[in-house]
Amino acid sequence: MGTARAARAHILWTSIALVLIIIASCLTYVFMSKVSGFQRISTVNASSIESMLRQVSREKWLLKARNHTDNRLVWDDEWEYLWNQSGSILDPNKTWMVIQEKGVYLVYIQVNFVLKPQKNSDSTVELKLLVDLNYGGNSDIFSAAHATQVVNVNTSPDAKLNTFLLMYMEVTNQFSVRVFPSDLVNYDPLPFSTFITIIKWGDDW
């Protein structure tokens, strides 16, 4: 029973990951560093989709946020039980993703927030999603997504930030995700409220 459920979950999330790649090809919300030799900006055009789908490797992960420390999200690897020969992508603290295989990676991050409306008053909250990158002794911080949300009894108690990243990374490069305000991050809804998917689709551009 557990094996069948795991197999179904594997198929479902692999399909979702592939759909995310296709969606990414239509979006202009792709950013990354201009640092030479590390991150390079690229769009995913229609002519590359077929090739991209053919070369999706075993280097793919689905991580679910379960907590935070110092505004940095702490993750659980939802696919770790399916393939663990090369070890987890997560560091021992489960806050940094450490790249084990050089290549181009498509990353999708979604963070859900639970807002707290006050009766008979309006307030605003600044929502931010930052990506910290460590590479070759250097580090950078990028504002991946942000929004200003008006909070009152007439607005939805939920808000969402998401972003697609297309990154070229070397072995041992690492990145983490910080969110503000971290105390409003939602971890509860099923299947996942706050998560990240990471898929390697090629060895180079």
Q: How far is CA 185 from CA 90, 179, 203, in A?
A: 20, 8, 34
Q: Please give the pLDDT value at position 144.
A: 86
- Tokens (6 digits) for 139: 């580090």
Domain 2-202 is found in CATH 3.90.1660.10 = no
Contact of 30 with 24, CB cutoff 8 Å: yes
For residue 135, with 0-12 CB atoms within 10 Å meaning exposed, 13-18 middle and 19 or more buried, which class applies? buried
Which sequence spans correspond to the domains of the chain?
A: 2-202
- pLDDT digit string (tens) for the chain, length 205 residues: 444 454 455 555 555 655 565 555 444 333 333 333 334 434 445 455 445 544 545 578 999 999 999 999 999 998 776 655 556 899 999 999 999 899 999 999 999 999 887 777 788 899 999 999 999 889 999 888 999 988 888 778 889 999 999 999 999 999 999 999 999 999 987 778 999 999 988 888 7
